[in-house]
Amino acid sequence: MLNATPLEIKPREALRINPAKTCQPIGAMYAALGIHGCMPHSHGSQGCCSYHRSHLTRHYKEPVIATSSSFTEGASVFGGLANLTQALNNIFTIYNPDVVAVHTTCLSEVIGDDIPMMIKKSAEEGIIPAGKYVIHANTPSFVGSHITGFASMCTAMVRYFSERRMGMRNQINLVPGYVDPVDMRELKRITKEMKIDSIMFPDTSDVLDLPQTGVYHMYPKGGTTVDDLKSTGDSMATLALGHFASHPAATELDEKCGVPCAFLELPIGLSQTDRLIHALRNYAGVDVPDSITQERGRLIDVMSDMHQYFHGKRVAVAGDPDHVISLCQFLVELDMKPVYVITGSPGNHFENRVHEILKDQVPDAMIKQNADLFELHQWIKNSPVDLIIGNSYCKYIARAENIPAVRFGFPILDRMTHRLFPTVGYSGAMHLLNKIVEVTFDKRDRECPEELFELVQ
């Protein structure tokens, strides 16, 4: 399909071909699922809600619940107040969630629906039962990306729930960024290993990675509870993992409740995980346990053993900005060369930070935010790479150019293991290294002449 991508690169201003992102409401819906007993609600048409649910379902291989305001032509002309009012009445009557998390779509944003007013009116009319909550985030698809939507819904959690209640508690908030449930579980395992009390929000572990028991639960046991969300205002600190997905919520919490925040990057790879462990140790005043030190040592051992296969390899990287920033740092630590680095999300911080990471090892790297996979393919056609790392959409480039591909980030629609193994932490880095080595060796074994087909690499 992508063999028709032309070699000649021409400037494009208004057109994106195969953008390396998706729309805001998907991120908002995913974040809302990380609240215990929450029903995500799409304030727009049924088609939007169906697409967002199906996209998440295909990545996580789990049923994703959500409701819709079901706009028709009438709502498009007269506004969505009646639709949202009826929807909230139906949701609390039929599904009885603890929280309804409303996110907007293009249509409701264009007509200018005032969601806070609508929520207030529903509360005054008794449509929202006592002890139940409705929160909202503005997430038009025509700006930002799914990462922006995730960040907006995380910020809404702070805005609606966080409060100073009992003075400072001996606990740390973790805003994990747009990562998979298994990554959130790994982050909680690390804090538990270090004997640190933490509150993660959102938390989709035990929500979108449930075991098969034969019994369906609309609201699984996972997710951050409302009480925990309220207590985030009493925490000693907030660790925000990822500039784009997590920093806005941490900033809001600092401004609202005075909780100091540490702005970190996603703990993917050696040095970024080191920074997380160091921050946890400093804020909680604990020592790093031997078990964590041993995990780090095993990662370094694998990096050393496999170094000859990584050194100098040219890599193309595409994906969400927070993921790509940390991954580029890790690739540099492996002596690999990320020569092409793109994200579909907007934000100049991405280009500035990646340039900073690569300035010594790959000073001529081509780096672009708000880019698309069509242009990345053109770059690769003009000067090939040894490896491509990105989501499932990168498989077309890999096939067309015969490049080994490592599936990484969101969405991964054609594989399963991303649901089972973490990417964050020292353990996640080892899993990522294993994937890189496997695809590299598989290509070598397929293509090498018989006299070089060795049992031991």
Which of 272, 293, 314 lies at the terminal end of a domain, its last residue?
Answer: 293
Residue 90 domain-assigned?
yes
CB 68 within 8 A of CB 86: no
316 and 279 belong to one structural domain: no
CB 212 within 8 A of CB 277: no
Residue 6 domain-assigned?
no
The mean pLDDT of the chain is 95
271 and 199 belong to one structural domain: yes
pLDDT for residue 2: 60
The separation between CA 5 and the C-alpha centre of its own chain, rounded to angstroms, equals: 29
User: What would the 3-class secondary structure string for 246-267 be?
Assistant: CHHHHHHHHHHHCCCEEEECCC
93 and 152 belong to one structural domain: yes
Residue 11 domain-assigned?
no
307 and 288 belong to one structural domain: no
Tokens of 313: 């390899």
Which of 232, 265, 293 lies at the terminal end of a domain, its last residue?
Answer: 293
Q: Go through the chain and tell me how many residues it has.
A: 457
78 and 89 belong to one structural domain: yes
Lowest mean pLDDT across 105-109, 186-190, 326-330, 403-407: 105-109
The percent of residues in the chain predicted with pLDDT above 90, rounded, is: 89
In 3-state terms, what secondary structure has residue 99?
Answer: strand
pLDDT tens by residue, 348-384: 999 999 999 999 999 999 999 999 999 999 999 999 9
The separation between CA 60 and the C-alpha centre of its own chain, rounded to angstroms, equals: 12
pLDDT tens by residue, 254-311: 999 999 999 999 999 999 999 999 999 999 999 999 999 999 999 999 999 999 999 9
Task: Give the ranges where 214-312 is alpha helix by DSSP (H).
Answer: 226-231, 247-257, 270-284, 290-305, 307-310
157 and 215 belong to one structural domain: no
Residue with the bigger pLDDT between 184 and 417: it is: 184
Which residue among the candidates 38, 100, 102, 106 is catalytic per the annotation? 106
Q: Which domain holds residue 76?
A: 24-161
Task: Quote the CA–CA distance of 90 and 43 in Å, as a whole number.
Answer: 14
249: CATH:
3.40.50.1980
321 and 442 belong to one structural domain: yes
Task: Quote the CA–CA distance of 220 and 208 in Å, as a whole number.
Answer: 9
Residue 328 domain-assigned?
yes
Residue 14 domain-assigned?
no
438 and 319 belong to one structural domain: yes
**Is residue 154 flagged as an active site residue?**
no
For residue 1, pLDDT over 60 is answered with no
Segment 204-208 mean pLDDT:
96
For residue 149, pLDDT over 70 is answered with yes
284 and 308 belong to one structural domain: no
143 and 287 belong to one structural domain: no
pLDDT band at 453 (very low <50, low <70, confident <90, very high): confident
pLDDT band at 455 (very low <50, low <70, confident <90, very high): confident
Residue 17 domain-assigned?
no
Segment 431-453 mean pLDDT:
91
CB neighbour class for 24 (10 Å; exposed up to 12, middle 13-18, buried from 19): buried
For residue 3, pLDDT over 60 is answered with yes
Which of 268, 293, 318 lies at the terminal end of a domain, its last residue?
Answer: 293
**Is residue 48 flagged as an active site residue?**
no
pLDDT band at 456 (very low <50, low <70, confident <90, very high): confident
Residue with the bigger pLDDT between 421 and 77: it is: 421
Number of domains the chain is built from: 3
Task: Quote the CA–CA distance of 251 and 262 in Å, as a whole number.
Answer: 10
Tokens of 16: 């994106």
pLDDT for residue 129: 96
**Which residues is 367 bridged to in the sheet?**
341
Backbone angles phi, psi at 386, to 5 degrees: -90, -15
Residue 166 domain-assigned?
no
C-alpha angle with apex 190: 188 to 193, nearest 5 degrees?
A: 110
Task: Quote the CA–CA distance of 146 and 419 in Å, as a whole number.
Answer: 19
pLDDT band at 452 (very low <50, low <70, confident <90, very high): confident
Tokens of 14: 């208004």
Residue 7 domain-assigned?
no
200 and 142 belong to one structural domain: no
235 and 312 belong to one structural domain: no
pLDDT for residue 369: 96
